[in-house]
Amino acid sequence: MALRISVGQYYAADSPIHQLDPRAKATCALALMIATFFVHSPLGLAAVAASVLALLAAARVPAGEVLSSVRGVLWVLLVLAVFNLLLIRDGSVLLAAGPITITTGGAWSAVLYPVRVFAAIVVGALLLLTTTPTELGDAFDAACSPLTKLGLPGHELAMVFSLMLRFIPTLANDASAIMDAQVARGGEVARGSLGRRLRAVGSVLVALMASSMHHADDLARALDARCYESGGTRSHWHPLHFGARDAVAFAATAALVALLVTLG
C-alpha cells in the first residue's frame, strides 16, 4: 500500500473519449502533447487551458482522479516556476529587492512553462485513465505492426508491453508486503549504517525477485493453458475499427494543433 502506481489506473466511465479507438486516441493525445510546446502567447496558452478543460469534461473523469494521478509532478512544476521567476531577466523589472530581481519576462515564463508541461501531462494522464491496459496493448500492437512486416516479433513486443502494465500493480503490492515483513523483522531500509541498509534492501529485492519468478511461472502456465502460441494467428475479441467518432477526433485534433501553432 505504500507504493501507489498510477500506470494502468483505468477509470471506468462511459464517455465519448472512452469509446474512441485506442489507436486514434493515442495518436491524438500524442499530437496534442507535442502541439502544446509550440505555444508562446497568452492567447495560445488560454486555448491550451480551454481545450484541456473541454477534454476533461468530455472524458467524464473526476478532476480529483486526474489530479491524484499527476500529483507527484506538481512539485517539480512548482520548482520549475520558481526557477523561471528568479533566473530569467528579460523585460522590465517588476521588483528588485537585494539579490532577488523579478522581471516581466520571468513572471511570464513562470506561468507559461509549468502550465504547458502540466497541460501535456494531464492529456497523457487522461489517455491512461480512459484506456484499459488491454486497449493500450492493442494500440501498441498496432504501432508495432510495421515491425511484424519486417519479420520482427511485433506482436510479441506488444504482448510483453501489456503484460508489463498488468503486473506493475501486482508487483508493487508484493513489494510493499515484503517490505512490511522485513521491517517487522528489524530490517528497515531507511535506518542504520550503510551495511545494514544494503542488507535490508537485499532482503527485499531477493524476496521480490523470487516472487516475480513465481508470477512468471504461473503466467507461462496460464498462457499455455489458454493456447497462446508464439507466432500463432490470433483472433481479437473486439477487432479495432476506425469509426465516424475517430474521424471527428482526428479532425478536431488537427484543427486544434493548427490553431495552437498559428496562435504561437
- In this chain, which of 193, 225, 244, 262 binds other proteins, going by CB under 8 A? 225
The vertex-85 CA angle with 82 and 90, nearest 5°, equals: 155
Q: What is the full DSSP assignment across 186-229?
A: T--TTSS-HHHHHHHHHHHHHHHHHHHHHHHHHHHHHHHHTT--
CB of 228 to other proteins, least distance (A): 7
Phi, psi of 100, rounded to the nearest 5 degrees: -90, 125
Contact call for residue 133 and other proteins (CB under 8 A): yes
Phi, psi of 97, rounded to the nearest 5 degrees: -135, 105
CB of 67 to other proteins, least distance (A): 8
20-39: which residues touch other proteins (CB under 8 A)?
none
Q: Which of 16, 2, 6 is nearest to 245 (CA)?
A: 16
Contact call for residue 64 and other proteins (CB under 8 A): yes
226-255: which residues touch other proteins (CB under 8 A)?
226-228, 234-238
Q: What is the full DSSP assignment across 95-130?
A: EEETTEEEEHHHHHHHHHHHHHHHHHHHHHHHHHHH
Task: Return the bridge partners of 253, or none.
Answer: none
CB of 91 to other proteins, least distance (A): 37
Contact call for residue 185 and other proteins (CB under 8 A): yes
Cβ nearer to other proteins, comparing 70 with 102 = 70
Contact call for residue 4 and other proteins (CB under 8 A): yes
Cβ nearer to other proteins, comparing 100 with 184 = 184
Contact call for residue 72 and other proteins (CB under 8 A): no
Which burial class, exposed, middle or buried, applies to 197 when counting CB atoms under 10 A from its CB (0-12, 13-18, 19+)? middle
CB of 169 to other proteins, least distance (A): 5
Write out the residues near other proteins by the rule CB under 8 A. 1, 4, 8, 10, 12, 62-64, 68, 71, 132-134, 137-138, 162-163, 165-167, 169-170, 174, 177-178, 180-188, 191, 196, 202-204, 206-207, 210-211, 215, 218-219, 221-228, 234-238
